[in-house]
Amino acid sequence: MTFSAKVKAEICRDLPSSRCCCTAMCYGMLLYGSVFTPREIRIISASDELFSFMPRLFRRTFGFGFDSISEKRTENARRSFVIRDPGKLSAICERFGYDPERMPVLHVNLGVLEEDHCRISFLKGAFLTGGSVTSPERGYHLELATDHASVSRETHALLGELGFDAREASRKNINLLYFKQSAVIEDLLTLLGAGVSSMDLMSAKIEKGMMNTVNRKVNCDAANVKKSVDAAQAQLRAIRLIQEKSELTALPEKERETARLRLEHPSETTAELARLHDPPVSKSCVNHRLRNIMAAAAALEDQDP
Q: Which residues bind Zn ion (CB under 5 A)?
A: 20-21, 117-118
C-alpha torsion angle, residues 198, 199, 200, 203 (rounded to 10): 130
**What is residue 167's DSSP assignment?**
E
The DSSP output letter for 71 is: P
Between 20 and 236, name the residue whose CB sits nearer to Zn ion: 20
Residue placing its CB nearer to Zn ion in the complex, 21 or 128:
21
Q: HEC profile for 125-157?
A: HHHHHHEEECCCCCCCCEEEEECCHHHHHHHHH
CA 158 from centroid of its chain's CA atoms: 23
Least Cβ distance, residue 151 to Zn ion (angstroms): 19
For residue 26, the minimal CB distance to Zn ion (Å) is 12
Q: How far is the CB of 4 from Zn ion (least distance, A)?
A: 25
**Under 8 Å between Cβ of 177 and 143:** yes
Among 241, 248, 238, 265, residue whose Cα is nearest residue 274: 265
For the CB of residue 123, give the shortest distance to Zn ion in the complex, in Å.
12
Asked if residues 193 and 124 have their Cβ atoms less than 8 Å apart, the reply is: yes
* Sheet of 142-146, strands arranged across: 131-133, 142-146, 174-179, 167-171
| Collapsed DSSP state (helix, strand, coil) of residue 173 | coil
- Of the pair 60, 117, the CB lying nearest Zn ion is at 117
* Beta carbon nearer to Zn ion, 115 or 264: 115
Taking the least distance from each CB to Zn ion, the nearer of 21 and 43 is 21
The least CB distance from residue 192 to Zn ion, in Å, is 14
Nearer to Zn ion, 28 or 131 (CB): 28
Give the shortest CB-112-to-Zn ion separation in angstroms.
10
Q: Which is nearer to Zn ion, 5 or 20 (CB)?
A: 20
Question: In angstroms, what is the minimal distance from the CB of 36 to Zn ion?
Answer: 21
The 10 Å CB-count burial string (b at 16+, else e) for 21-32 is bbbbbbbbbbbb
DSSP-assigned letter for residue 111: G
Q: State the minimum distance, in angstroms, from the CB of residue 18 to Zn ion.
A: 5
Using DSSP, state whether 225 is helix, strand or coil: helix
Return the number of the residue (4 or 121) whose C-beta is nearest Zn ion. Answer: 121
What residues pair up with 132 in beta bridges, in sequence order?
A: 143
Count each helix (H run) and each strand (E run) in the chain, helices first.
11, 8
